[in-house]
């Protein structure tokens, strides 16, 4: 028999992970696929961080840790937030989780009741909507397409807020678009929020360090709303540590306590060894972060140049993260050589995979039909060859 809960039946599978899995399966069958689907840095974790993990094993950091993480790591995060972002969260307000993904889900499950509304600017990372659904909350989408550089306006936010709104979920630099809100743009959003004291802000700042604007403003840096801002961050992207699974929330104390209670019942602490590695990431030299950022900036220039050269694609110039989100509607409605009609951007992503052997992700998975997402966290050679294949495959459509 099978008996899958309604809760899980209602969940959509993660499209980013599904596409990456499909690309890995094709590769295993001997197909030469270039994977621009999953978003993870292609760099190895820096040596000093790996050394700290080896030392942690030798020093027997192999027992359960406090549910919210080692105090030494929570202190290191608190100091990082002060040093780099100018914001104040005491170590007791930091809860370390198995990646930023769990940190986000923890906060949503610990603060959203059925019927509560969560405002999410679209396009948005695939998991936000599903996490809100898990909590029984209602997603209120606010669309920001390429014509507004994928950023919502204060006016749009004002219109989306109702008496039932509990939270705004904002991601900057953004997955899937790479857009970065400037300090002025954030201030305008904050001015709206200041009028609605019951709305919390869940700010996903995981791409903070992959940012080509030269400056980053944390959502918690605005005193008008700082006491209801929950920051999400972690080591996956900035330190090339996706597999280590360390992220955290920095939250008001009441919420940090609720999150700790929740996590204490279903995963306990994140890996003791990975926590020690993350501590080394935050307290050690930050040169690796700047080097990787520079590599991503160079690749951004390359991918924008090559994608702009494909007729029909509309491309913005992302200011951060490692994604490009081109508008592809010029190719929707066209037909493949085999006579199959491309009905939507999901069909186009599948066509690019099967005919062009390039894995991308359908924009529909991020709440915006008519786009695809490319992750350019890969070598220059892969980017060149992938974009060459995409151009050839797209031009073959009639």
Binding positions for ligand GLU, rule: CB under 6 A: 14, 16-17, 38-40, 101, 125-127, 175
Q: For residues 57 and 242, what is the distance between their CA atoms, to the nearest angstrom?
A: 20
**73-102: which residues touch ligand PMP (CB under 6 A)?**
99-101
Q: How far is CA 81 from CA 77, 114, 275, 307, in A?
A: 6, 32, 17, 36
Number of other residues whose CB lies within 10 A of the CB of residue 97 = 28
Residue 376 has which token pair?
Answer: 């350019």
Residue 85's binding partner, choosing from ligand GLU, ligand PMP, none, with beta-carbon cut-off 5 to 8 A by kind? none
Of residues 65 and 177, the one with the C-beta less far from ligand PMP: 177
Residue 362's binding partner, choosing from ligand GLU, ligand PMP, none, with beta-carbon cut-off 5 to 8 A by kind? none
Q: Which residues contact 155 (CB under 8 A, 6 or more apart)?
A: none
DSSP secondary structure letter of residue 214: S
Q: Which residues contact 67 (CB under 8 A, 6 or more apart)?
A: 95, 260, 263, 264, 268, 269
Candidates 192, 199, 207; CA nearest to 228 is: 199
The residue sitting closest to ligand GLU, measured at its beta carbon, is 39
Residue 35's binding partner, choosing from ligand GLU, ligand PMP, none, with beta-carbon cut-off 5 to 8 A by kind? none
Of residues 23 and 127, the one with the C-beta less far from ligand GLU: 127
Of residues 16 and 233, the one with the C-beta less far from ligand GLU: 16
Residue 38's binding partner, choosing from ligand PMP, ligand GLU, none, with beta-carbon cut-off 5 to 8 A by kind? ligand GLU
Residue in 14, 85, 106, 175 binding ligand PMP, rule: CB under 6 A: 175
Residue 50: in which H helix or E strand, if any? helix 47-58
Of residues 100 and 160, the one with the C-beta less far from ligand PMP: 100
Of residues 91 and 326, the one with the C-beta less far from ligand GLU: 326
DSSP characters over 288-339: HHHHHHHHHHHHHHHHHHHHHTSTT-B-----BTTEE--B-GGGTT-B-TTS
Residue 17's binding partner, choosing from ligand GLU, ligand PMP, none, with beta-carbon cut-off 5 to 8 A by kind? ligand GLU
Residue 56's binding partner, choosing from ligand GLU, ligand PMP, none, with beta-carbon cut-off 5 to 8 A by kind? none
With binding defined as CB under 6 A, does residue 205 bind ligand PMP?
no
DSSP secondary structure letter of residue 14: -
Q: For residues 260 and 278, what is the distance between their CA atoms, to the nearest angstrom?
A: 19
Residue 269's binding partner, choosing from ligand PMP, ligand GLU, none, with beta-carbon cut-off 5 to 8 A by kind? none
What is the size of the binding site for ligand PMP (CB under 6 A)?
13
Of residues 236 and 355, the one with the C-beta less far from ligand PMP: 236
Q: How far is the CB of 173 from ligand GLU (least distance, A)?
A: 12
**142-171: which residues touch ligand PMP (CB under 6 A)?**
171
Work out the widest C-alpha separation in the chain, in whole angstroms.
Answer: 63
Q: For residues 371 and 349, what is the distance between their CA atoms, to the nearest angstrom?
A: 9
Interface residues with ligand PMP (CB under 6 A)? Answer: 39, 99-101, 125, 171, 175, 204, 206, 234, 236, 242, 247
């Amino acid at each position: 028999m099978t008996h899958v809960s309604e809760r899980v039946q209602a969940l959509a599978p993660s499209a980013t992970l599904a596409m990456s899995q499909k690309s890995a399966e094709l590769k295993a069958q001997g197909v030469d696929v270039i994977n621009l689907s999953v978003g993870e840095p292609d760099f190895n974790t820096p040596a000093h961080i790996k050394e700290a993990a080896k030392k942690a094993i030798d020093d027997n950091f192999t027992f359960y840790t406090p549910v919210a993480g080692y105090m030494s790591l929570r202190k290191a995060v608190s100091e990082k937030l002060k040093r780099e972002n100018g914001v104040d969260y005491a170590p007791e307000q930091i809860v370390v989780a198995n990646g930023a993904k769990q940190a986000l889900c923890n906060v949503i499950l610990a603060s959203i009741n059925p019927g509560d509304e969560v405002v999410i600017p679209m396009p948005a990372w695939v998991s936000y909507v599903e996490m809100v659904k898990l909590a029984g909350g209602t997603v209120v989408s606010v669309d920001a397409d390429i014509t507004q550089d994928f950023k919502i306006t204060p006016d749009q936010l004002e219109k989306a807020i109702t008496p039932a709104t509990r939270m705004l979920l904002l991601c900057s630099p953004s997955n899937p678009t790479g857009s970065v809100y400037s300090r002025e743009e954030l201030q305008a959003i904050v001015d709206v929020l200041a009028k609605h004291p019951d709305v919390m802000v869940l700010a996903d700042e995981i791409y903070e360090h992959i940012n080509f604007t030269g400056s980053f403003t944390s959502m918690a840096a605005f005193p008008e709303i700082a006491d209801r801002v929950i920051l999400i961050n972690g080591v996956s992207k900035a330190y090339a540590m996706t597999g280590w699974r360390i992220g955290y929330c920095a939250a008001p104390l009441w919420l940090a306590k609720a999150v700790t209670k929740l996590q204490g019942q279903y995963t306990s602490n994140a890996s003791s060894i990975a926590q020690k590695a993350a501590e080394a990431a935050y307290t050690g030299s930050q040169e690796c972060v700047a080097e990787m950022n520079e590599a991503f900036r160079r690749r951004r220039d390359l991918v924008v140049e090559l994608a702009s050269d494909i007729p029909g694609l509309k491309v913005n110039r992302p200011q951060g993260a490692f994604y490009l989100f081109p508008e592809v509607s010029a190719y929707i409605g066209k037909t493949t050589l085999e006579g199959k009609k491309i009905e939507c951007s999901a069909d186009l992503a599948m066509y690019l995979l099967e005919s062009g052997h390039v894995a991308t992700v359908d924009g529909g998975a991020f709440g915006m039909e008519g786009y695809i997402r490319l992750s350019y966290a890969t070598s220059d050679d892969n980017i060149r060859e992938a974009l060459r294949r995409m151009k050839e495959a797209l031009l073959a459509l009639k």
